[in-house]
Amino acid sequence: MGATKTEHFTDEQNAIAILAKAIGHPARVAILEYLLKVDTCICGDIVNELPLAQPTVSQHLKELKNAGLIKGNIEGNAICYCIDENVLSKLKSYFATISDNLEKKKNNCC
Amino acid sequence: MGATKTEHFTDEQNAIAILAKAIGHPARVAILEYLLKVDTCICGDIVNELPLAQPTVSQHLKELKNAGLIKGNIEGNAICYCIDENVLSKLKSYFATISDNLEKKKNNCC
DNA sequence: AATTATTATCGTAATATTGCAATATAATAT
DNA sequence: ATATTATATTGCAATATTACGATAATAATT
């Protein structure tokens, strides 16, 4: 035991969980925010921005890519990473829906 | 090694990461969605809704509570859990900001 | 061809998460 | 008081994550 029982949940639940899990580390939040900040997305310097060793950063980038949050293009020598707009738009509407529904209900029982 | 280097990131980055991490498991996504669905929030039956044993569900609830996503009130014998509106509103605006900024930039380099 | 720069992968240690059986706790009901 | 119901905690095994040094892979530069 110890492995997540993915098969018992809906595809949407798993999809949201995968995205949230990928964001669930401050280094990856920092990477996303950095990618958002810089105009161009030539991103070799993410390593310099973060207080982590290069292999660690590379691993975090890989996880963000696996989750679908970022895309990477080979740019000659380096690699150009950037956020996938569509996925973030999906997260935006997911949390908007939940928050708006809560607002509507206002069952302040807790 | 192996522990997250929390101290190197900003408070906001850590806060978002903690929330996202808590949502980063399909069982906890399912719990949130269930809490959203039911009108009242007397929630002992979450265990029946999920394909997991009672201690496992209790643990997931604890993690959601630790992250601040849900609140719990003792309701006589049982416990009444419900989502913290404020925290979800915070997530809503965080992802809305990112998504809207991306939309504005439209630097489709990847 | 050798060097340099950039990113990825491997291997591994430390730590965290997941899941559950067994047990404990707390409130209600009998 | 005892049984019942609802939830939490403990302890533990299986698995996953985090971090990094060492090394590999790839492409540009000299």
Name the token pair of B77.
């014998």
Give B58-85 pLDDT, tens digit per residue: 999 999 999 999 999 888 888 999 999 9
Fold of B10-105: Arc Repressor Mutant, subunit A (1.10.10)
- Asked whether the predicted pLDDT for residue B44 surpasses 90, the reply is no
CB A71 within 8 A of CB B110: yes
Give A85-110 pLDDT, tens digit per residue: 999 999 999 999 999 999 888 766 67
- Asked whether the predicted pLDDT for residue A1 surpasses 60, the reply is no
Longest CA span, chain B? 58
C-alpha B79/C-alpha B24 separation (Å) is: 24
Q: Which residue of chain B comes nearest to A102, CA vs CA?
A: B85
Q: SS3 for A97?
A: helix
Name the token pair of A45.
């310097």
Give the C-alpha distances (Å, rounded to integers) separating A23 from B17, B53, B92: 6, 27, 14
Q: Do A88 and B73 touch (CB under 8 A)?
A: no
Q: Rounded mean pLDDT of B15-38?
A: 97
The predicted pLDDT at position B41 comes to: 72
CB-based contact (8 Å) between A61 and chain B? no
The predicted pLDDT at position A107 comes to: 64
DSSP character at residue B6: G
**A11-105 CATH, one of 3.40.50.2300, 1.10.10.10, 3.30.1490.20, 2.40.50.220:** 1.10.10.10
Residue A71 one-letter amino acid: K
Give A60-87 pLDDT, tens digit per residue: 999 999 999 999 988 888 899 999 999 9
Stretch among A9-18, B2-11, B29-38, B53-62 having the lowest mean pLDDT: B2-11
Q: Rounded mean pLDDT of A10-36?
A: 97
Give the C-alpha distances (Å, rounded to integers) separating B96 from A64, B75, B92, B106: 19, 35, 6, 15
Domain locations in chain B as residue ranges: 10-105
Q: State the nucleotide closest to B45 in CA–C1' terms.
A: D6
Beta bridge partners of B78: B75
Percent of chain A residues past pLDDT 90, beyond the cut: 70
CB-based contact (8 Å) between A59 and chain B? no
CB A43 within 8 A of CB A79: yes
Q: A-contacting residues of B 88-107, CB under 8 Å?
A: 88-89, 91-92, 94-96, 98-103, 105, 107
CB-based contact (8 Å) between B80 and chain A? yes
